[in-house]
Structure 1
Amino acid sequence: MEFEMSYLGEKIKALWYLKFIRISVYLIFAMLAIGVVMDLIIMPIYTKHGETLPLPDITRVRYEDAKLTLRADGFNIVKAEERYDSRFPMGYVIKQVPAPGTLVKSGRRVSVILSKGERRFEMPKIVGASDRDSKLLLSKFGLRTGKKAYEYSSYYPKGVVTHQSITPGVEVPMNTFIDLTISLGSIPSVFLVPSVEGRTLDDARDIIKQAGLQIGSIRYQPMNALLPETVIKQSLQNGTEVPKDTRINLVVSSL
């Protein structure tokens, strides 16, 4: 009986020892697992807390692409403003705040200004306006006066726009040049030669065209006393009555 009790006691001790060994092994594996988690996950998050990162450059890209780029780096994007800008297509980032390369913490908001594209204006009606008023009207709509031509008209008085190069109502970009045709009034029975001596060559061209005449040959002559491209002499005396489209030859100064 005593032997059996001794044997049973030894067996119980052995079982407890095995259980202790098993629990110890489990604890060792658990500690190793905790160590791996700390090393690979917890510590990187802890050590990076408060770390600054350089902001990527998101200008000149579409808003959606800019948003993806910032979110990938842990930043947030905010639309601050939209404005017209002919340099950027609609929906592209014009400017970001803070600027590219600025060191900021993760989660920082980045404000962006987006392009609305090139500003466009509806072409106004210029026909029927005076030559002087046409310039003011075009300027009001963000447009510019282009080339001018002249023609006789039995309908429009002298100095009134008879034709414009772009039809009214069409949308055009800002600063578009609009060519105009200006009325010279009714066709006269007599055409008088204008005086263009002392004028620049460009002015002489316009004056002669407005008089219903044409520029003939142009001969250049060195003349230090005058600025280059100044009319020295004209082939027909001013005030002379001539047929329509008569050509006037010019002598022009050169260096």
Structure 2
Amino acid sequence: MNLFKVNSLKDVLIHLSIVIILGITLLVLFFYVYLPNSTNHGETVTVPDLEGIHQDDIDEFLTKRNLRYEVLADSGFTAEYEPFTILNQYPAPGSKVKENRKIFLTLNAINPPKVKMPDLVDGSVKNAQLVLESYGLTRGNIKYVPDLAQNAVLEQKYEGDNIEPGTFIPKGSKIDLVVGDGLGNTVLEVPDVKGMDLEEAEFIIVGSGLKVGSVLFQDQSLSGQDAREIVENAAPGERYVVARQNPTFEKKVRIGEEIDIWLNLLEDQEDSILDNEEEEENTDISETE
């Protein structure tokens, strides 16, 4: 009993030291021996990526990895996978979890939910794409037809038939679009702008419902230079006029098509026109043959 007898301050310190050492020893044993053995501390499993795996195959797949699973009541839908295929999971792929951890799964539904068909008509193709995605629908084929409204949606079709906005259709359905090409059905004759200066030629072309295409020079030495800038900065007495055009005069084109023109100095114009007429005649003969 002398061990617990306290006769001096030294005995008190000795007893206090013994209590502290015993306490530290017990804490170390609890945290580093007992808890690891009872909780499998340090034994982790990497969660695999389960997306796209069918429910029938998941049990064996997770059992081999010492994991369990539970299918949530909520489900999603995508046309990319078959029904009962895993869409989402928690914890996420790559997470470190303890063995026997439960993985929560969301499956692809058998029947897709119904969504309302949006109104895409009169909007752009780009806007239609964004709207379809927000509704869970897919853009199908695009058919261009003659119309002045370029890249504007004229009709929306589902399974070959026009579909009215607000109609319920399965989520993931493909919607085909009929889109204007910006040209229209009207057929026009190409005006004759040869001999006109640039400003007058542009006025005639645009006024005829056509567009000015490339503005070039007949003189190859000026090739690649800005035609409009040279015309605007022409010296006094210099006048550039149209020497050639394509398509040529009286050709049939649709409204909105472009007319390319070639410019030349007025003093060289007469010879240039004769050469171009001969070239056009040869071209017409070749096309006829």
Structure of larger gyration radius = 1
TM bucket normalised to smaller: 0.3 to 0.5
TM-score (norm 2): 0.37
Using structure 1 for the length normalisation, give the TM-score. Answer: 0.40
